[in-house]
């Protein structure tokens, strides 16, 4: 129960971090046609997917159901990307 709770709590500062990145990106003078913008947006999207799948796996019941499935493999790859 401890690790499940800690994993869920990690989502709060991580969500704040993602919204801070989006705020800085929208209020910066980045040219919308810059190629680096695609890299930044792609990173934020993949980081968010990895975080959401981690929150799903933090629930003990869902973790037991999804253990040894492709969902865990996908979560790992989202986190590592």
Domain ranges of the chain: 2-80
- Cβ partners under 8 Å of residue 64, min gap 6: none
CB 10 within 8 A of CB 55: no
Distance between CA atoms of 58 and 64, rounded to whole angstroms? Answer: 10
Asked whether the beta carbons of 81 and 49 are under 8 A apart, the reply is: no
**Closest to 43 measured CA to CA, from 17, 7, 70:** 17
- Work out the pLDDT band at 65, boundaries 50, 70, 90: very high
pLDDT in tens, 18-62: 999 999 999 998 888 889 899 999 999 999 999 999 999 989 899
Give pTM, 2 decimals. 0.81
Among 38, 39, 70, residue whose Cα is nearest residue 57? 70
């Amino acid at each position: 129960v401890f690790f499940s709770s800690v994993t869920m709590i990690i989502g709060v500062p991580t969500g704040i971090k993602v919204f801070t990145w989006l705020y800085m990106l929208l209020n910066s003078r980045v040219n919308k046609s810059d190629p680096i913008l695609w890299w930044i947006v792609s990173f934020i999207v993949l980081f968010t997917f990895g975080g959401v799948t981690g929150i799903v796996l933090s629930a003990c019941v869902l973790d037991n159901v999804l253990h040894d499935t492709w969902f865990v493999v996908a979560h790992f790859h989202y986190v590592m990307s």
